[in-house]
Amino acid sequence: MPVEHHSLPDEAATLALGKTLARRLSGGGCVYLQGDLGAGKTTLVRGILRGLGHEGAVKSPTYTIVEPYEFGDVHIYHFDLYRLADPEELELIGVRDYFASGDLCLLEWPERGAGVVPSPDLTITLAVDGRGRKATLDWAYEETQSQ
C-alpha cells in the first residue's frame, strides 16, 4: 500500500483521523508515532481510542511510560518513551509481554526503545504545517503482505 498523506487543519481533524484509523487497527499491531513535542501524537491516540469505543480520559504516559486501556476484548497500550535513558529500562517493566498477538501498542518516541520494541506495522509521522498538522502514514505490514 502506498504511503498516505493527510492534512490536519485542527484538533478535530486529528481526532477524526484517529477514529478512521481505529477501524484499520482493530486487529492489533505495533504503531510508531513520530513527531516533535506538540505535534499531536497523544491527540491522535485519543482519536484511535475513541474510535475503538473508549469513553474515559486519555492522558499522555510521559511519566508512567505505558498507559493500558482495556475494554471488552480490546487491549491497547499507549507508550511514551520520551523519558527513557536506555532502552533496556523497558525490560524492567516486562515490555515484551505487551506485544501479544491481537493487542494494539501505540508508541510515542519509539526510537528510544530501539532494539527492544518490535518493528512497526504502521509508522505515523506528524509534523506542524502552518497552523495545523500533516500526517504521513507508512503501512509497513500491508506492503510486506502484498509482495
Give 31-45 pLDDT, tens digit per residue: 999 999 989 999 999
- List, in sequence order, every residue forming a beta bridge with 136; answer none if it has no partner: 5, 125
Q: Which has the minimum average pLDDT: 32-36, 76-80, 95-99, 129-133?
A: 95-99
pTM of the model: 0.89
Q: Closest by alpha carbon to 117, among 80, 144, 74?
A: 80
Decide if pLDDT at 98 tops 50: yes
pLDDT of residue 82: 93
3-state secondary structure of 63: coil
Strands (E) across the chain are located at 4-8, 29-34, 66-71, 74-80, 104-108, 122-129, 132-138
Residue 77 DSSP SS3? strand
Does residue 66 register a pLDDT over 70? yes
Average pLDDT over residues 91-106: 87
| CATH number for position 11 | 3.40.50.300
Length of the chain: 147
The domain total for the chain is: 1
Question: Containing domain of residue 21, as a range?
Answer: 4-146
Angle at CA of residue 90, ends 128 and 30, nearest 5°: 55
